[in-house]
Amino acid sequence: MNWKTIPNFVTVLGFVATFGYGYAFLSFKEELILPLLLTASLTDFLDGALARSLNQRSRMGTFLDPIRDKVLLVAVLLNLIMIYGREITALIVAITILEVGGGVLNFLKGLPQPVHPVGKVRGFVHFLCASTIISSSSVHWPTANPQSVEWLIYPMFLASLFALIAYTFFNRAPKPTS
């Protein structure tokens, strides 16, 4: 199967937006943070939908998509650690690293890692909560107060924990025969 597909291009665009987001945060370019976060997050929803609708699924896409998702998640969580320095955020990073490790092992063993609905819910919860937290820490937000939205880290933790459980125990797909 050809790896040069529109969905794979969208996934690569997501990587570029994710690294741009990390750069914008680290270099205090606040006007770029949310647009790049939004772009990276939208590519998460677009690449899979395009792969299905255009019938352009590829082995490369099934490998890159979840990695890009986790790289974005880790970038956002590192951003939150820099804002809050909370242990719970570090725990979300640890859960994500375990999830990535499991996905890479499954890929190397030739086992499919189908998307679990809980993983999509987790992505949405993370995007919604993290973008709210990050926006509230920006000096461009007129009522900037990151402490007022700090509690949103806890739904992110629960979503990560449920996704890890779902992918570990409830996402067994048969090994492909070819």
Write out the DSSP string of 57-98. Answer: --HHHHHHHHHHHHHHHHHHHHHHHHHH--HHHHHHHHHHHH
Does residue 110 form part of some domain?
yes
Closest C-alpha to 116, from 158, 162, 64 = 162
161 within a domain of the structure (yes/no): yes
pTM of the model: 0.70
- The total of structural domains in the chain comes to 1
Q: Is residue 87 part of a domain?
A: yes
What's the pLDDT at 70?
Answer: 80
* pLDDT (0 to 100) of residue 176: 46
In the prediction, which pLDDT does 143 show?
54
CATH number, position 98: 1.20.120.1760
pLDDT of residue 36: 92
175 lies in some domain: no
Mean pLDDT for back-to-back runs of 10 residues, the chain (178 residues): 81 94 88 89 86 85 82 83 74 77 75 74 84 71 63 84 80 52
Residue 125 structural domain: 6-169
Note whether residue 174 is domain-resident: no
DSSP for residue 3: S
